[in-house]
């Protein structure tokens, strides 16, 4: 009976996350992206398309803003009047779902199709989604992508010769559901199963996301934030970025060129799991 | 002994009121003014209650119970369902958060109140009803009708009272 | 200017209203035909969208809601004045509500039904809509009760069912009248069934009064909560331009506003089409017009409050959205909303326009245009200019499919409303009689008092 369940677990059902709460254990997947190392080559985005069976919508739908790139490489031109504005591009994040600890998208979904998982991911259940798109409306980063058409049956999304390259570990989404970056949850699950069989937790370096794997400059690091051995943990600590804070207290004495870590739109208190390392620019040095 | 029905029509409320007052004061054998008389009117006359004597309305108790049950049911259904749903955490909120649950409890409070009030209305007013023995469609225009039920012996007395007050029309149920 | 005559024969009231069930003017059939066409067109658009995918509506990543949600709010809003007119004025014993509340309540019911359609056509997997219903199932999976959309669903369900019941209960005595007068046939059977054997006995009337009053008392807070919850869809979110504390009262005021304007439109239409000149009188119209004017000014004030609080808030992102509304691509529509919503109602301040039917008809349509624009200007600019600059999209324009469904919804509403008015008495006969009766009593009393004074 659910009411007795409610009363028995009262403390548990009333506890809040992530503020004043213990971190996820034993896993909290997180990422750090060094924008200074990024060359803007788009390899991460391409790898994501291949790994996650993303539909290639084509020119016309792209022009309507209906593209499905879970990971997008953004460029901003400088508007200081220089002759070639693209010389002054400033900011080049690989933008994908930030896997927020307190995700704005989760609370608003009417059917509970998007939830916070035990290892700190923001999950999306395609089968449960009815396509109200409220999650996208409430996402400050706008990193959720909706299946505006039934891509598996649309011509030229996956031409016949390419159906063999679809990843069998990832479902192909039909029309009318929302999707987004999952931190390659299929890889994480597989690694966790292997580790569990051997009675341990997933080791650092044992699992990589597709984008991380494809990045030629190693700008992306991914791992278990609660594991003190992990590169992500070390990077977050070195940059003095704390997961459950909406304003980071940084050491004033350190040079700006050293403390480059930040999270996007932190003040909205979504507590993203992705830290970016600012690009070192002329003006900052 | 079986009772027979009698229906008298009056053109206005004051005449009907006079008849009812006389019926209430007169003691007629085989006719009980409390149980055997029904006033039918095209519009609602709150004054009817004054001269018909105290007839309580119980609908508001249905309302109270319905609203309370609706609210309680709402809150526990929702909280119970949340606690049941694999304890699934949502962005920065407890699994059973109060503000949203109170919003829904409020809606269920009203829903329960309205539904049970309607149920109470149907029960208290005896609807849907079988049509009574005598009815005139003039009641739905502008006439006031007094429907009485009396034993054979009282019928003629009642009729006399009705005629005295200038009934427009008197309908009589056929004898059995 | 004629009001309802005190000496009107009650039989004539019956006769006049019953005529509306039989012989409306030809215009009725013309409107019905066009309503059917419009609805058919909207239905076609929905079938196409259902088959092909939501993409044909030309929605995209930042602009995920478009006209559907804007029009949804519009129809929800329109439903509120039926309740206001019926329930609040009932509690306040304002007897001028009596000849017009029935159609206002019908408007409430049907605009809610229309709003419900927009929730449906908006969701990506319509065939899975039942996932949003809290039904017990063996997997123990429930909807997310934290979502304002679910509050919406619950509030609309409560509101729709309560107002249908309110409409029905209030109509029982009239259904009995129709039953008594209808010639034999399927319609007589229908009314006999619906009248539940009502005969106007003292017991029925006694319980009826308490019930009607109770439901009226429930409906008022319910109506306020419904539109507050619709406002919560926006106010509970984090987006700039939506996350506004004053949204719930602002939405409620807007709802009453557009509803009153719609009542004026429908009042004028019914009065002509069903020849209700005797009951839907100009003094009543004048009262509604004044009420609308007051609400228009409240709405204008709340608008100003919202803009001022954004302007002085130092919330740069919200301020950007506001500037975007005023000067960007949406500026013509935004200023159109200000003009139609705040300037046009000033016409109502002039006495000679308060009973001028052509002017009122045109004005009320303009007011509703303004209120529709308001809803669009709440939804679209925030999507076009949110927190994340890379996803700004100022140029997205709704496709014909979206416009078609908005257009079709007006057809659907008109269709339902016109059918209702032809099948059920759209003027409450028993309450007009009550009104006439109490006025006569009042007259008599004052005459008697005058005589006593001499």
Over residues C340-374, the pLDDT tens digits come to 999 999 999 999 899 899 999 999 999 999 999 99
Per-residue pLDDT, A90: 59
Hey, which residues 100-139 in chain B have their CB within 8 Å of chain C?
Answer: 100-101, 103-104, 106-108, 110-111, 113-115, 117-118, 120-122, 124-132, 135, 137, 139
Cα dihedral: A182, A184, A188, A190 (round 10): 120
> Is A285 part of any domain?
no
Into how many domains does chain A fold?
1
CA proximity to C369, closest of C70, C163, C68, C40: C70
> Is A82 part of any domain?
yes
Question: What residues make up the domain containing A193?
Answer: 3-277
Instruction: Kindly report the average pLDDT of chain C as a whole number.
Output: 90
Annotate B143-172 with DSSP letters as a single string: -EEEEEEEEHHHHHHHHHHHHHTT-SEEEE
Hey, which residues 29-88 in chain B have their CB within 8 Å of chain C?
Answer: 38-46, 48-49, 52, 55, 57, 59-60, 63, 77-78, 81-82, 84-86
Q: In B28-151, which residue ranges form alpha helices assigned H by DSSP?
A: 33-36, 47-52, 59-84, 98-124
Q: Cα dist. A87→A41, A77, A81, C11, C386 in Å?
A: 15, 8, 11, 87, 27
Confidence of residue A284 (pLDDT cuts 50, 70, 90): very low
What's the rounded mean pLDDT across residues C144-148? 91
**Which helix H or strand E contains C338, and what residues bound it?**
helix C331-338
β-strands A29-34, A274-277: how paired? parallel
Per-residue pLDDT, C450: 79
Say whether pLDDT at A215 is over 90. yes
Determine whether the interchain pair B92/A13 forms a contact, defined as Cβ–Cβ distance below 8 Å: no
Instruction: Kindly report the average pLDDT of chain A as a whole number.
Output: 88
Hey, which residues 42-81 in chain B have their CB within 8 Å of chain A?
Answer: 76, 79-81
Lowest mean per-residue pLDDT among B24-28, C233-237, C381-385: B24-28
Determine whether the interchain pair C214/B93 forms a contact, defined as Cβ–Cβ distance below 8 Å: no
Hey, which residues 208-247 in chain C have their CB within 8 Å of chain B?
Answer: 208-211, 214-215, 218-219, 221-222, 225, 229, 232
Comparison of pLDDT for A5 and C263, the residue scoring more = C263
Lowest mean per-residue pLDDT among A134-138, A266-270, C12-16: C12-16
Say whether pLDDT at C226 is over 90. yes
CA proximity to A112, closest of B40, C132, C200: C132
Per-residue pLDDT, A167: 92
Residues 6+ apart with CB under 8 A from A146: A131, A133, A136, A176, A177, A178, A179, C54, C59, C61, C64, C124
Q: What chain B residue is nearest to A122 in terms of C-alpha separation?
A: B91
C157 touches chain B (CB under 8 A): yes
Per-residue pLDDT, C1: 58
Determine whether the interchain pair B139/C198 forms a contact, defined as Cβ–Cβ distance below 8 Å: no
Per-residue pLDDT, C4: 76
Confidence of residue A86 (pLDDT cuts 50, 70, 90): low
CA proximity to A167, closest of A45, A73, A48, A44: A48
> Is A208 part of any domain?
yes
Highest-confidence segment of A71-80, A91-100, A206-215: A206-215
Say whether pLDDT at A280 is over 80. no
Per-residue pLDDT, A38: 87
Determine phi and psi for A146, rounding to 5 degrees.
-105, 140
pLDDT tens figures, C386-424: 999 888 988 889 999 999 999 999 999 999 999 999 999
Hey, which residues 386-405 in chain C have their CB within 8 Å of chain B?
Answer: none
User: What number of residues does chain B have?
Assistant: 176
The CATH number of whichever domain residue A58 belongs to comes to 3.30.70.20
Residues of chain B with pLDDT under 50: none
Interface of A with C (CB under 8 A): 2, 61, 64-67, 72, 74, 76, 95, 104, 107-112, 128-134, 136-138, 140-142, 145-150, 175-178, 265, 268
On chain B, the residues whose CB falls within 8 A of the CB of C167 are: none
On chain B, the residues whose CB falls within 8 A of the CB of A103 are: 90-92
> Is A283 part of any domain?
no
On chain B, the residues whose CB falls within 8 A of the CB of A19 are: 92
Per-residue pLDDT, C20: 85
Contacts 24+ apart (CB under 8 A), B84-89: B84/A2, B84/A5, B84/A6, B84/C140, B84/C142, B85/A112, B85/C140, B85/C141, B85/C142, B86/C140, B87/A9, B87/A12, B87/A13, B88/A112, B88/A115, B88/A116, B89/A17, B89/A115, B89/A116
Say whether pLDDT at C236 is over 70. yes
Per-residue pLDDT, B2: 72
What's the rounded mean pLDDT across residues A98-103? 93
The two three-digit tokens of residue A158, written as one number: 């996956």
Highest-confidence segment of A123-137, B48-62, B79-93, C73-87: A123-137
Distance from CA of C217 to the nearest CA of A (A): 30
Say whether pLDDT at C184 is over 90. no
Confidence of residue A91 (pLDDT cuts 50, 70, 90): low
Angle at C160 between CA B68 and CA C167, to 5 degrees: 95
Query: Measured in Å, how far apart are chain C's first and last C-alpha atoms?
Result: 31
Helix, strand or coil for residue C366? helix
Burial class (CB in 10 A: 0-12, 13-18, 19+), C450: exposed
CA gap C412, C415 in Å, rounded: 5
Say whether pLDDT at A196 is over 60. yes
**Rounded to two decimals, what is the model's pTM?**
0.93
What's the rounded mean pLDDT across residues C300-325? 90
> Is A152 part of any domain?
yes
Determine whether the interchain pair A146/C143 forms a contact, defined as Cβ–Cβ distance below 8 Å: no
pLDDT tens figures, C108-133: 999 999 999 999 999 999 999 999 99
Question: Strands (DSSP E) along C107-184, which ranges?
Answer: none
Per-residue pLDDT, B175: 62
Most distant CA atoms of chain A, gap in Å: 70
Asked if A251 contacts A239 with a C-beta cutoff of 8 angstroms, the reply is: no
Neighbours, chain C (3 or more CB pairs < 8 A): A, B
> Is A282 part of any domain?
no
Size of interface B-C (CB pairs under 8 A): 173
C161 touches chain B (CB under 8 A): yes
The complex scores an ipTM of 0.90
Confidence of residue A122 (pLDDT cuts 50, 70, 90): very high
C235 touches chain A (CB under 8 A): no
Determine phi and psi for C412, rounding to 5 degrees.
-60, -45
């Amino acid at each position: 009976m659910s009411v007795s369940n409610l009363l028995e677990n009262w403390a548990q059902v009333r506890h809040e996350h992530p503020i004043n709460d213990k971190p996820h254990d034993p896993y909290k997947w997180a990422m750090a992206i060094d924008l200074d190392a990024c060359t803007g080559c788009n390899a991460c985005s391409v790898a994501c398309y291949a790994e996650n069976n993303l539909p290639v919508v084509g020119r016309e739908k792209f022009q309507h803003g209906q593209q499905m790139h879970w990971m997008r490489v953004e460029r901003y031109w400088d508007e200081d009047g220089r002759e070639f504005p693209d010389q002054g591009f400033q900011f080049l994040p690989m933008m994908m779902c930030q896997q927020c600890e307190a995700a704005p998208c989760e609370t608003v979904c009417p059917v509970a199709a998007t939830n916070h998982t035990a290892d700190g991911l923001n999950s999306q259940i395609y089968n449960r989604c009815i396509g109200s798109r409220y999650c996208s409306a409430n996402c400050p980063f706008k990193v959720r992508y909706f299946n505006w058409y039934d891509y598996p049956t649309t011509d030229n999304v996956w031409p016949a010769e390419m159906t063999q390259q679809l990843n069998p570990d990832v479902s192909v989404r039909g029309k009318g559901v929302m999707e987004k970056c999952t931190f390659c949850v299929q890889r994480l699950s597989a690694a966790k199963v292997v580790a569990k069989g051997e009675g341990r937790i997933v080791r650092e370096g044992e699992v990589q996301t597709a984008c991380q794997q494809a990045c030629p400059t190693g700008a992306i690091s991914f791992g278990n934030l609660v594991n003190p051995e992990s590169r992500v943990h070390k990077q977050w600590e070195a940059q003095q970025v704390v997961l459950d804070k909406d304003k980071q207290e940084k050491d004033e004495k350190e040079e700006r060129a050293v403390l480059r870590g930040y999270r996007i739109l932190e003040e909205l208190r979504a507590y993203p799991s992705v830290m970016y390392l600012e690009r070192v620019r002329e003006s900052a040095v | 002994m079986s009772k027979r029905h009698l229906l008298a029509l009056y053109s206005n409320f004051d005449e009907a009121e006079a008849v009812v007052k006389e019926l209430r004061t007169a003691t007629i054998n085989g006719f009980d003014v409390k149980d055997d008389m029904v006033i039918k009117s095209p519009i609602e006359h709150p004054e009817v209650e004054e001269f018909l004597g105290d007839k309580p309305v119980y609908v508001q108790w249905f309302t109270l119970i319905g609203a309370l049950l609706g609210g309680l049911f709402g809150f526990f259904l929702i909280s119970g369902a949340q606690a049941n749903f694999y304890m699934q955490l949502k962005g920065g909120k407890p699994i059973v958060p109060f503000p949203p649950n109170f919003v829904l409890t409020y809606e269920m409070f009203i829903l329960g109140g309205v539904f049970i009030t309607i149920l109470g209305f149907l029960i208290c007013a005896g609807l849907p009803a079988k049509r009574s023995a005598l009815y005139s469609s003039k009641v739905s225009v502008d006439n006031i009708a007094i429907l009485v039920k009396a034993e054979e012996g009282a019928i003629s007395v009642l009729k006399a009272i009705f005629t005295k007050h200038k009934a427009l029309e008197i309908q009589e149920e056929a004898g059995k | 200017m004629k009001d309802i005559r005190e000496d009107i024969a009650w039989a004539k009231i019956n006769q006049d209203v019953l005529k509306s069930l039989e012989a409306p003017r030809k215009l009725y059939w013309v409107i019905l035909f066009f309503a059917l066409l419009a609805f058919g067109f909207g239905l076609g658009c929905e079938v196409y969208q259902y088959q092909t995918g939501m993409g044909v509506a030309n929605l995209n990543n930042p602009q995920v809601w478009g006209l559907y949600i804007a029009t949804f709010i519009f129809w929800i809003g329109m439903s509120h004045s039926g309740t206001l007119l019926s329930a609040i004025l009932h509690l306040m014993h304002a007897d001028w509500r009596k000849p017009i509340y029935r159609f206002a309540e019908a408007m409430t019911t049907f605009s809610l039904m229309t709003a419900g359609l927009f929730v449906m056509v908006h969701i990506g997997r319509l065939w899975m809509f039942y996932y949003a219903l809290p039904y017990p199932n063996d997997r123990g999976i429930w909807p997310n009760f934290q979502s304002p959309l679910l509050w919406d669903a619950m509030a609309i369900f409560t509101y729709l069912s309560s107002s249908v019941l309110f409409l029905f209960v209030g109509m029982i005595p009239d259904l009995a009248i129709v039953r008594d007068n209808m010639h034999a046939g399927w319609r007589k059977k229908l009314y006999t069934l619906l009248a539940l054997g009502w005969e106007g006995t003292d017991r029925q009337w006694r319980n009826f009064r308490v019930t009607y009053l109770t439901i009226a008392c429930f409906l008022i807070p319910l109506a306020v909560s419904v539109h507050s919850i619709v406002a919560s869809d926006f106010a509970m979110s984090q987006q700039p331009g939506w996350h506004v504390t004053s949204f719930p009262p602002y939405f409620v005021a807007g709802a009453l506003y557009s509803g009153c304007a719609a009542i004026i439109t429908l009042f004028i239409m019914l009065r002509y089409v069903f020849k209700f000149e005797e009951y839907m009188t100009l003094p009543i119209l004048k009262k509604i017009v004044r009420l609308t004017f007051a609400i228009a000014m409240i709405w204008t004030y709340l608008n100003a409050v919202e803009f001022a609080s954004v302007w002085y808030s130092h919330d740069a992102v919200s301020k950007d959205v506001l500037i975007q509304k005023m000067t960007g691509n949406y500026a013509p529509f935004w200023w159109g909303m200000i003009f139609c919503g705040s300037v046009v109602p000033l016409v109502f301040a002039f006495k000679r326009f308060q009973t001028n039917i052509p002017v009122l008809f045109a004005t009320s349509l303009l007011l509703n245009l303004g209120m529709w624009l308001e809803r669009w200007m709440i939804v679209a600019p925030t999507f076009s200019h949110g927190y994340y600059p890379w996803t700004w999209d100022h140029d997205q324009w709704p496709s014909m499919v979206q416009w078609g469904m908005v257009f079709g919804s007006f057809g659907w509403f008109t269709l339902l409303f016109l059918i209702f008015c032809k099948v059920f008495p759209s003027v409450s006969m028993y309450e007009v009689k009550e009104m006439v009766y109490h006025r006569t009593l009042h007259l008599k009393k004052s005459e008697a008092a005058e005589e006593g004074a001499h």
